[in-house]
Each structure stands twice: as C-alpha cells, then as structure tokens.
Amino acid sequence: MFPRKPGAAGGQCPFCGQALEVRSPAPAADTVFAQFGRNPKPTKTNRPAPAPAGAADPVKATAHNSRGMHHAGRGEYRAAIVEFSRAIEANPQFTKAYNNRGYAHSACKDYAAAIADFDRALQLDPTFAAAYNNRGLAYMAGRLYERAHADFEAALRLDADMTLAYLNRAFARAALGRYPEALADCNETLLRQPHLANAYHNRGFIHGALGDYDQAIADYDAEIRIDPQRAVAFYSRGFIELMRGNYDHALRDLAQAISLRPTFADPYFLRGDIHRARNQCGRAIAEYSAAVRQAPSFALAYYHRADSHYEQGDYDNALADFGKVIELRPDLAAAYVSRGRTHMARRAIEPAIADFTKAIQIDPGYLNAYHQRGLAHAARSDFDQAVVDHLDAIRMAPKAPEAHDNYARYWIICPEQRNGRMALELATRACELSQWEDWRCLCTLAAAHAVIGDAAAAAHWAEKAVAAAPEPQKLKCRTELAELMDVAADGRGDLMSRV
C-alpha cells in the first residue's frame, strides 16, 4: 500500500482531522523485495563473473553465494547474510553477492545495511539494473521517495523490460502524489503481467486516491479473484466502501479480512470508525481496543478510542488515551488540542491552556489550537486574550475559511461576548472562502442567522450544511449543528462545550 497524502481517498479523518492512511499489514517493500529484477527469488543462474586476479577463492565464493540463496529461498535471511558475507570475503569483487546480501538485509528490515550493499554492487557494476530496483525499494521503506523514484528510473533506462520496476515506480510516484503517472505505470505493468495481484492492488489505491471509487472496487475485485486469501485486498475494498458510505458492504469486507488474518489491526480500526459514524460509541471502543491489542503502537486507534470516550462523557479514559497518543506521537499537535478540549470538558482551564499552547509551539499554523485557547481564555474571563488568539489566526491565514469560522463561533458561544452581527459577517466570509462547500462553515452561518432571529435563513443554511457533508460525516454534522443551534436559541453558550 502507498502512504496516503492529504486529499487522497479518505483525505482527512472526519473525527480527528489527521491525514488518513490505508495501511497494509506489512510495508509493500516487504512483499516486492522478494522479487529480484524479473525473478521471484535470487536463482542459481545468478553466477558471479570470473574474479579478478588476486581474488582469494572464486570457487569458494560461488559456493557460499549458492548456500546463501538457498537460505534466502527458505526465508532464513540471517543465515543467508552469513553466507553472502562469506562469499564477499572470498571474492570482494563479487557484485551479485552484494546485491543478494542487500536483499537479505532488506528482508530483515535493516535498510541502511541494504542500501550500503546495493551502493557497493552499483560501484562494481553501474549497469546492474536489478540493484537500482532493489535500492529503490530500500529507499521507499525509509520514505525517501524521490531517491526511490530516481533509482526505478535508472533501472528502467538500463532494462526497459523489467516489469517490476514499472510497478515499483508507480509505488514511488503515488507516494509523491503523482497519481496520473503512477496509474500509467500500473497499466504498463498489467499489460506485461496481467495476473499480478500487487499491480491490481496498487492501481486500486491510485483510483481511490483520484476519487474513482468504481474503478478502485473493480481493481480490488480483480485482485481477490487472483488471490482470494489476500486479507489486505478485502481491507482495502472495505475502505473504499466506507468512503462511499456503503457501511454494510464495508463491514462484510472487513470481517473477511479479519477472518483471513485475525492479527490484522486495521480492519478492527475501520470497523470502529463505522460504528462511530453510526453513533455506536460502545461498539466503536471495542473495535479500537481490538486494534490496539493487535498493534500496541497504533496511535490513531488510541486517538479514535479517546474521542469515543470523550463523546460518551468518559473524560478520565479519554485523557488516558490522549496521553497514550502523545506518548507515541509527541509531535502530533492535534493530540494536545484534543486533550486540552478534554481538560476543558472537566473545567480544568489551566491544563487546557497548557495543551493548546504546546500544540501551537509544535505547529504555529494550527488554527484550531488558537480557537480553543481563545475559548479557554474567555472561560476565565480574559476576553482580550481570547480575541487576540482569534485575530492572530486570521492574520496568519487570512484566506483560510477555518480561521474566520472559528472566530464566528466565538461570537456565538461566548455568553459575555455574544454578537450575532459579528458572527454573521465572519461566517459569511468563511463560506465565501470555502466556496459554500464546507459543512462546518454552513453550520456556523445557520447558527449566526438564528442568533439574530432570522429563523427562515437559519433553516435554509442548516439544510445546506447537511447536504454538503460527505456521508461518513453527516451524523457528526447533524450533531454539531444541533449543538450550535441550541446555543443560538437559548443564548447560554458553554465555553466548556464541544462546539
């Protein structure tokens, strides 16, 4: 699977705002590292060139290399590394032994050692296309996508018939967000090798990233026909069904993925998101808990479980889970904001301000952190600082709908500062900047009209907001809209609320 970029299929998480990622049970490199050039495994036909004069023992080197390939073919990579190293000791110019040892290091996820071996192989033979391909995969594992792309390009310049290099270049291009080019490479791969399940899988991802869900489903269907035991294919198809709002279809696919691979954390996670979208927080928590049992470092699962606890009013468990997220991802500004909001719900203002401030230190452009800190300042009657935080956000991002929307909400929900006309002006500007397509901005506009007593306009924009919300976010939209409209109706905003 490819790393998911913001704006790809799924885009941002509808619950926590983090970039979504369709994760595979192992990096794609782990699968394709097993394929050397056009061969599924290093084979005994890969004989070294005659050693130069002075080589210690080329015959001994060849014997060790053959034993190393035997171990690699059995998945005994540590033993293979020992044999390839002995081959290199016997013949330091043995190019393919370096390549083979790099392969074994890669299989052991020691990518730095693998790259060093591929470097040496290419120093000895700059025309060794397979070594470029394999080094590119090691770079991919380290998320060095530009370097990986350059290596796959080099491999194809040297050997235009290397089918897997087209597939791997598609991998790199997708990781770089170059989806149309990645799609062309997947198509080329399938022209050359029509029954390659990985190619359908990767092309399905690309179609999903381009928003072509029907074609994505068709590719995952083809992958499953080729190999019905691929749990990741059912998982990925389930993800697309989730994005289409077909929850029952998604749940069937996710159940099949779990049946095929019970230790696969991600299907549990997505099932949790579906239950949460259906406002079934208890079932969602059970699924997120299953996900973290299988993958104890799965930060986003802890995040969504924390949010579910929060939605249920279980702030102690929410704080514990947000703390775990921060332990795993201390650089994640959103986790501090969410923990700060939980402190606010418990009416612990000072810890909340500390968390919002930490989020801003990590990401000075995180607009919601300014909004939340502004609300916290207002909760302790520091209205001047509350306004400063909102104005700072607008000065920082004058064309950002979120900055104007947040400030509009401040004038709606802060009892002492309530100003319907100011809220209406800011909400209208937010809608203009978002081209009237952002459901949150439309919710705020509806509430602003309600504050000034224009019930007809409020109802009109409330309807528009629900219509604009994508299917997985409609329930969240309706909930948020109801909370805002309640505040607008009774005039008693609660700065500790979840609005």
The mean pLDDT of 490-497, rounded to a whole number, is: 56
* 98-102, 264-268, 362-366, 414-418: range with lowest mean pLDDT: 414-418
Q: Is the whole-model pTM more than 0.85?
A: no
The mean pLDDT of 57-77, rounded to a whole number, is: 93
The mean pLDDT of 412-422, rounded to a whole number, is: 90
> What pLDDT score was predicted for residue 493?
52
> What pLDDT score was predicted for residue 112?
96
> What pLDDT score was predicted for residue 47?
44
User: Residue 419: which pLDDT band, with cuts at 50, 70 and 90?
Assistant: very high
- What does pLDDT average to over the chain? 88
* Distance (Å, whole) CA 313 – CA 494: 15
The mean pLDDT of 289-303, rounded to a whole number, is: 98
Q: Quick: pLDDT tens for 231-247.
A: 999 999 999 999 998 99
* Distance (Å, whole) CA 27 – CA 24: 6
> What pLDDT score was predicted for residue 46?
44
Is the pLDDT at 53 greater than 80? The verdict is: no
Q: Identity (one letter) of the amino acid at 392?
A: D
The mean pLDDT of 97-121, rounded to a whole number, is: 96
> What pLDDT score was predicted for residue 475?
87
Is the pLDDT at 30 greater than 80? The verdict is: no
Question: Which position has the token pair 């050397």?
Answer: 36
User: Residue 65: which pLDDT band, with cuts at 50, 70 and 90?
Assistant: very high
Q: Quick: pLDDT tens for 423-461.
A: 999 999 999 999 999 999 999 999 999 999 999 999 999
The mean pLDDT of 67-77, rounded to a whole number, is: 94
> What pLDDT score was predicted for residue 468?
95
User: Residue 491: which pLDDT band, with cuts at 50, 70 and 90?
Assistant: low
Q: Quick: pLDDT tens for 204-220.
A: 999 999 999 999 999 99
The mean pLDDT of 380-402, rounded to a whole number, is: 94
User: Residue 498: which pLDDT band, with cuts at 50, 70 and 90?
Assistant: very low
The mean pLDDT of 78-90, rounded to a whole number, is: 96
> What pLDDT score was predicted for residue 472?
78
The percent of residues above 90 in pLDDT, for the chain, comes to: 82
More confident residue, 67 or 498: 67
Is the pLDDT at 497 greater than 80? The verdict is: no
Is the pLDDT at 4 greater than 90? The verdict is: no
Q: Quick: pLDDT tens for 119-178.
A: 999 999 999 999 999 999 999 999 999 999 999 999 999 999 999 999 999 999 999 999
* Distance (Å, whole) CA 190 – CA 83: 36
